[in-house]
Structure 1
């Protein structure tokens, strides 16, 4: 018998045998009784599972609006695109931005919905690595697959956590370059500005966790209001592009790719519209602090991703109609094309700086959320013995009611990574581009495994949330998510510029391979002894 068939809360009854239940009361939550053959006793070896007392749990205080706002603010979709669309201009041009945004919207929402079904069945902070272990192919070691997935997801989110401070530092430097032609940016300037940008998110994550809910709602409202302000300013003041430029123009060959590779170039440019609405699994890593997570977590994932995709598409259309001189924008000395676009539109350095600093504020709020999510992921993985110093990282402060050590560790890794720009901006970009690649890889694995289960008619019973419509429609969404996810993995491994040299090569693929090798090595050194999946107990209070 496959041990996964005995996993409480994640049964493998054929579809339709068990209707979704909305009852998540304590008496309906399955528990191990300390005897018999449990799934985790089988795969864990020895005692087989860890039990955690009340002091190891987090308080549930996030309801629907704050957690949806959490996702919206964390993705900061139109703001992220505003400071990174230069890559798409060089690889595909306007067609990549317009039609790539539509493709990314459907693909990302489909993937969020696919993961949402898993979240409704088993909402847990570990998410991808727990699901991968539970759905691992028969005849393999589920703990190994869960451990490997845990390393990939944790590493990816730590890289993502380091990216936002770098972007915030780049915004400040771009504004200084705009206002002072004599300023010469240096790598150590970027590092110090990134450190300064991290101060408030670190402090608030440790000492002011209960302001997360109001901050999320306020930031989400500002996220939408600022979009309206940008739309009004650009449409009223900027020189207009033609509709042919927006909807029928493509740029190929600018980045050095040879003729005949237009499809690859277009795919490479998709990075600009993929990463702004990725990261929806961050909501999953807050599951222990969400009320009624079986329902609200998947709703928030799909809802925030759909809304983020919509506002990103609106911004793309407005941006392209009001972009100004494309050559000047793509080669701006500020390093950020949105600064050049706003300056051409307004003619005011002060006005441009003010609007760009509004983006800085939203990205800062996003960093607050990312740090919270990554620290919870590290805490969960440490509880399962997946990280070095797990005993310390798995502790929850009895007074602050948060995993303080995990927050400090995540912040320290973020600060260390931001030392890289001192020596090489290219190396830093390579490391941070890994975050999107590794995250999509972490999405693809459980999406593939659950699709195989559906095709075998051996799919776990649904939770209270599932993809609306008949079974065949949900299956089509899962298939599309599977295809989209692996396509993104392919795109994210391709170099942006050709010919590929040490300076221009996209190092995300090689770095991902190196992380996999390190994780496998660590598994044989200590992981196979220390990594034990916990008792499969869902607390839906």
Structure 2
């Protein structure tokens, strides 16, 4: 008999965790896979990961030149609100599906399961490659933009200085290496890192808010400027169209929520916790964005001065003018750089899991390596290596175009949007039958919400291939469509070379059935947890 209440409680919690992990693995087996990764992540950790990948203060800062060129205050603030609401609709649509099919395959698995048997293979192939390229390019854009932002700190003291291509690419590679090492050899700390990210980001936003509004050494803008000023003359686009082109700032930032589906096999109750984390992270990101952007607009220097920044990253100059010193500006910039590292680590984590999940079903060449896990490290090591190498090589595009970062953000947004949209489209075309019993069901508003998502995604594909401003030069052109077409060619080429022979899609594919596969298993597992937990409590009292 154990008289220590703390020990009894700890033993009970450990027992619950063990039962929960077993139940999740059993449910995963019903979906066609064997659990190979440790289920060490909590809902708060997944929420932190999603929040880290979106990295609101960092994402809006590195892409600020886009909205400053295309509309300024109205685009920055109200564009953010609009895209936040649309992203919340997409996150809710994906959460509804994720609750039914919680696997690391994420969107490509969902497309296959909801399509008919005749279309399941091609639907999962297209969705899988869209999602994979989106994961790679969002990781690339986060870390490449981080390199540019880090080097821009020098311009706080020397405003005419700008890093050359080699300096930028080498700095980018260094950041990629750090993110790789943390993911490879610090995997056991990822749960802590994701949680710390939430507190770091919240504290950073509060500190920046108070500092900017209390100091404002460069003067303050009027409320009319902050909430109603619109100027698209710098873009060359028609006024109305310019607003939509400027939405890339918000759309790029608010893309990470769907990536966390790749972590489903590392969470104890993924059908409940991962969908919840998706929706909550978008809501939190939307609110964080408004709180962060408002003080920046109130102290915004002359737009022409910001857009003339030699390094292309104006946020440091905003901080410098508001604080009245280069050191003060760097202090605030340091907070953003910290968020960048959280985002880079989190994005590479999600990319490696996405690569692993797609490769184990034969969707990627070399699946015998990339579709395996390293038992000692407890991670898909070769999937991590491939993601790191692909991102590092894509960074070489910068030698051919100084607008490469804009292309990376554009193609990341397009690919992830398409990856999110395809399973939603399949669900709508099949009459939403497979999600009507989801624990996160959208109910009678499902068709309307799904429809809004699909219209936005179709619009986004066109918008984010557009250059930020016209007329364009070879160095300022948006090459998102070129990068997108390049990966599409690789995808189709591999499909005809080997994919159509070896790729069968997810291992469990069935025609649509009103009865949700896996839901009965979830209910049985929950009952089993209750029975075994009660039995354990009785034993500890004896």
TM-score bucket (shorter structure): 0.7 to 0.9
Partner of 2:339: 362
Q: Distance in 1 between matches of 2:406 and 2:229?
A: 28
Q: Deviations over 1:399-452 (max 9, x none)?
A: 111111111111111221223323432245324421111111111111222122
Q: Distance in 1 between matches of 2:417 and 2:22?
A: 31
Contact 1:372 1:407 in 2 (8 A): yes
Q: Compute the displacement of 1:187 (Å).
A: 0.5
Q: Is 1:507 the equivalent of 2:479?
A: yes
Q: Compute the displacement of 1:528 (Å).
A: 0.6
Q: Deviations over 1:383-404 (max 9, x none)?
A: 0011111101112112111111
Q: Deviations over 1:98-132 (max 9, x none)?
A: 21111111100000000110100101111111122
Q: What are the ranges of 5 or more consecutive residues in structure 2 without an aligned counterpart?
A: 1-19, 509-516, 526-542
Q: CA RMSD in A?
A: 2.5
User: After the TM superposition, which of the residue ranges 176-185 and 523-532 deviates more from structure 2?
Assistant: 176-185
Partner of 1:278: 255
Partner of 1:104: 83
1:520 to 472, 481, 492: 492
1:462 to 427, 434, 437: 437
Q: Compute the displacement of 1:356 (Å).
A: 0.7
Q: Compute the displacement of 1:474 (Å).
A: 3.2
Contact 1:158 1:413 in 2 (8 A): yes
Partner of 1:256: 236
What are the equivalent positions in structure 2 for 1:30-429 lying under 5 Å apart?
57-136=36-115, 138=116, 140-180=118-158, 183-238=161-216, 239-257=219-237, 261-429=238-406
Contact 2:141 2:408 in 1 (8 A): no
Question: Are the structure 2 counterparts of residues 219 and 515 from structure 1 closer, same or farther at C-alpha, using a change threshold of 3 Å?
Answer: same
Q: Compute the displacement of 1:343 (Å).
A: 0.8
Q: Distance in 1 between matches of 2:94 and 2:307?
A: 36
Question: Are the structure 2 counterparts of residues 422 and 473 from structure 1 closer, same or farther at C-alpha, using a change threshold of 3 Å?
Answer: same
Q: Distance in 2 between matches of 1:345 and 1:518?
A: 47
Contact 1:175 1:353 in 2 (8 A): yes
Contact 1:294 1:463 in 2 (8 A): no
User: After the TM superposition, which of the residue ranges 140-149 and 180-189 deviates more from structure 2?
Assistant: 180-189
Contact 2:65 2:312 in 1 (8 A): no
Q: Compute the displacement of 1:331 (Å).
A: 2.0
Q: Distance in 1 between matches of 2:447 and 2:308?
A: 45
Q: Distance in 2 between matches of 1:27 and 1:73?
A: 27
Contact 1:117 1:465 in 2 (8 A): yes
Contact 1:152 1:442 in 2 (8 A): yes
Q: Compute the displacement of 1:27 (Å).
A: 11
Question: Are the structure 2 counterparts of residues 466 and 180 from structure 1 closer, same or farther at C-alpha, using a change threshold of 3 Å?
Answer: same
1:437 to 401, 410, 414: 414
Partner of 1:531: 503
Q: Distance in 2 between matches of 1:158 and 1:215?
A: 21
TM normalised by structure 2 equals 0.85
Q: Distance in 1 between matches of 2:152 and 2:25?
A: 57
Q: Distance in 1 between matches of 2:410 and 2:346?
A: 19
Contact 2:401 2:475 in 1 (8 A): no
Contact 1:157 1:435 in 2 (8 A): yes
Q: Compute the displacement of 1:180 (Å).
A: 3.4
User: After the TM superposition, which of the residue ranges 195-204 and 112-121 deviates more from structure 2?
Assistant: 195-204
Q: Compute the displacement of 1:139 (Å).
A: 7.8
Q: Compute the displacement of 1:248 (Å).
A: 1.6
User: After the TM superposition, which of the residue ranges 473-482 and 432-441 deviates more from structure 2?
Assistant: 473-482
Q: Deviations over 1:181-207 (max 9, x none)?
A: 574521100111112222322111111
Q: Compute the displacement of 1:23 (Å).
A: 13
Q: Distance in 1 between matches of 2:26 and 2:106?
A: 22
User: After the TM superposition, which of the residue ranges 506-515 and 244-253 deviates more from structure 2?
Assistant: 506-515
Q: What are the ranges of 5 or more consecutive residues in structure 1 without an aligned counterpart?
A: 1-21, 33-39, 41-50
Q: Distance in 1 between matches of 2:436 and 2:25?
A: 18
Q: Deviations over 1:443-488 (max 9, x none)?
A: 111122212233xx63444333233xxx323332222222222222
Q: Deviations over 1:247-304 (max 9, x none)?
A: 22111221222xxx22211100000111111121111011111120001111000000
Q: Distance in 2 between matches of 1:27 and 1:218?
A: 28
Question: Are the structure 2 counterparts of residues 383 and 230 from structure 1 closer, same or farther at C-alpha, using a change threshold of 3 Å?
Answer: same
Contact 2:95 2:276 in 1 (8 A): yes
